[in-house]
Amino acid sequence: MQQLDLIQWLQSFHNPLLDDVMVLVSNLGGEDFYLFFGPIFFWCLSTALGVRLLVTLITSFYVNDILKDSFATTRPMLSHPDDVRMPPGAAESAQDGHETWLGAFPSGHAQNAVVFW
| 29 in Cβ contact with 112 (< 8 Å) | yes
pLDDT at 88: 62
pLDDT attached to residue 79: 63
pLDDT of residue 89: 58
* pLDDT score for 24: 80
Mean pLDDT by 10 residues, the chain (117 residues): 74 81 76 78 85 87 86 70 65 52 72 80
Judge residue 43's burial from the number of C-beta atoms within 10 Å of its C-beta, 0-12 exposed, 13-18 middle, 19 or more buried. exposed
For the chain, the distance separating the N- and C-terminal CA atoms, rounded to the nearest angstrom, is 34
Amino acid at 59: T
